[in-house]
Structure 1
């Protein structure tokens, strides 16, 4: 089983198009040791040729161009993307679905009922694509039963509900529903190796912690370094918690959570990194702290085999 990081940044990418924070300005000018990133998305394959796209960011076309595996060129019109799965209905994770409109068959799309409702109302991607390739919706039911996807033989996916908010355009923004945001446990049934993927984690609930403890690879929320990062920089009035993300530092932060797992063999990787986060500076003190704790920072193109 292969896991490919297509994009590792939070919304807006890095550098963000309209931001002149220290990180964004520094990477543009070449005064910081930092690497550009596109918006968060991964792809999973059992055979290296057919891929499940997990989240479709606005940067999808650039990500396809940067990853030749997604274009196997078996016929005149072709794609390695056999199906898509979205963990929420946020712009960052579903806008790229519109870029797949030239398909010659309906797009198999896996989503919870709550997310599918958003994609048919507040942000009607499903309705729009019905005028092009069409969408074949497959329900993700949060009853503990595994999800089997035809394009991934020998791979099992389990969806876990996460505490979060629906997007601002969602009909249930003010009344969150189970399934607005999910994490995924992806298992190679042959090797028994597991990946836990959750780019947006606002709280470490018992079932989430249990999934993290059983994983061989963690791809988890790396959005912000501190709880007040955006407020302190004058970029937002919202804290990390308000935005639905657990900061890395401080009591109860992601570093402390990952340290508590007590598993030396698990690979711990932060993904969905906001442009303001100082861990983007490769020779900075925050990156050194992560290294001391055995935590990596995802970058575009990073590949894992389990």
Structure 2
């Protein structure tokens, strides 16, 4: 399978439009060894063919399509390589890019869980609005471990795992989480026998999640915050990383510790990096710590083959 990282930042991108933290200001002024990033999304294609699966539709989707020609193969007057969209959750930075796909000439195949479909029909009625344009052909993602496939993408098999995280602020069950608010995906190439575990929002690693990570050839997981108190310490917001459903990289029980327990053969990548995270500075000690641990930070436009 061929994976293209369309966006590697958390909500707001990097630099964030209204932020003057050390990272954002440093990037704008050319004083930081860092690269701009759009909001997180990946595009996965089987080995054969142009079409693929879009994981999350960020508000930056039009910029991402322009920057990545694989999404526009230009085979006909109106064309797209996006065979379907799969949503990992119902958050603004992962779902509102669906509006930008409204000119599609037929209903958009959309895979999501029942709670996410509810969020995007009631709390933030994206799906209802799209009904006035191209429409949506919605498919339910099973949460019982059953494998499923996407029409038109032979050789790709998917399995979903419910994750401990937080639903969107507009979700009817924001303060009463339910399975399916947020998921991880095991994506398998049945011909090659390779696997990717993808979870851009991950608040806790339970035994089932760790087993899925350990059984993968590569993991692409939550890189939002370096410390649990990152936002409060900077005076940006009162909530800690774990409170809003993100496992920080550093500290006891953090992402670095968990990734260090994986078999040496597993490639380890962080995605969904918040603009405040010091790992965005390529010269920072935090980035050096990741390199020493064999952990990569995803970049926009990065291509990975598994």
What TM-score range do you get, normalising by the shorter chain? Answer: over 0.9
Task: Name the CA distance, whole Å, in 2 between partners of 1:250 and 1:147.
Answer: 36
Task: Name the CA distance, whole Å, in 2 between partners of 1:3 and 1:303.
Answer: 6
Is contact 1:73–1:79 with CA below 8 Å preserved after alignment? yes
Task: Name the CA distance, whole Å, in 1 between partners of 2:96 and 2:145.
Answer: 28
1:69 counterpart SS class: helix
- Could you tell me which residue of structure 2 aligns to residue 124 of structure 1? 125
Is contact 1:3–1:303 with CA below 8 Å preserved after alignment? yes
Task: Name the CA distance, whole Å, in 2 between partners of 1:18 and 1:165.
Answer: 24
Q: Measure how far apart 1:183 and its partner are.
A: 0.3
Q: Measure how far apart 1:48 and its partner are.
A: 4.8
- Could you tell me which residue of structure 1 aligns to residue 64 of structure 2? 63
Q: Measure how far apart 1:119 and its partner are.
A: 1.1
| 1:104-149 CA-partner distances (Å, limit 9, x unpaired) | 0000000001101111111111100000000000000111110111
| 1:60-86 CA-partner distances (Å, limit 9, x unpaired) | 000000000000001111111111000
1:207 to 2:208 alignment: yes
Task: Name the CA distance, whole Å, in 2 between partners of 1:185 and 1:109.
Answer: 18
Q: Which moved more, 1:34-43 or 1:167-176?
A: 167-176
2:96 counterpart SS class: helix
- Could you tell me which residue of structure 2 aligns to residue 100 of structure 1? 101
Task: Name the CA distance, whole Å, in 1 between partners of 2:78 and 2:229.
Answer: 48
1:35 to 2:52 alignment: no
Task: Name the CA distance, whole Å, in 2 between partners of 1:303 and 1:157.
Answer: 20
Q: Stretches of 4+ moved more than 6 A in 1? A: none
Q: Measure how far apart 1:37 and its partner are.
A: 0.2
Structure 1 residue runs of 5 or longer lacking an equivalent are none
Task: Name the CA distance, whole Å, in 2 between partners of 1:143 and 1:268.
Answer: 26
1:49 to 2:50 alignment: yes
1:147 counterpart SS class: coil
Q: Measure how far apart 1:164 and its partner are.
A: 1.6
1:18 counterpart SS class: coil
Is contact 1:48–1:69 with CA below 8 Å preserved after alignment? no
Q: What aligned pairs does 1:141-180 form with structure 2 within 5 A after superposition?
A: 141-180=142-181
Task: Name the CA distance, whole Å, in 2 between partners of 1:143 and 1:21.
Answer: 42
| 1:138-166 CA-partner distances (Å, limit 9, x unpaired) | 00011111011113201100000001221
Is contact 1:83–1:151 with CA below 8 Å preserved after alignment? no
The number of residues matched between the two structures is 305
TM-score by length of 1: 0.99
1:269 counterpart SS class: strand
- Could you tell me which residue of structure 1 aligns to residue 270 of structure 2? 270
Task: Name the CA distance, whole Å, in 1 between partners of 2:135 and 2:293.
Answer: 46
Task: Name the CA distance, whole Å, in 2 between partners of 1:95 and 1:300.
Answer: 19
2:242 counterpart SS class: coil
TM-score by length of 2: 0.99
1:23 to 2:23 alignment: yes
- Could you tell me which residue of structure 1 aligns to residue 11 of structure 2? 11
Structure 2 residue runs of 5 or longer lacking an equivalent are none
- Could you tell me which residue of structure 2 aligns to residue 297 of structure 1? 297
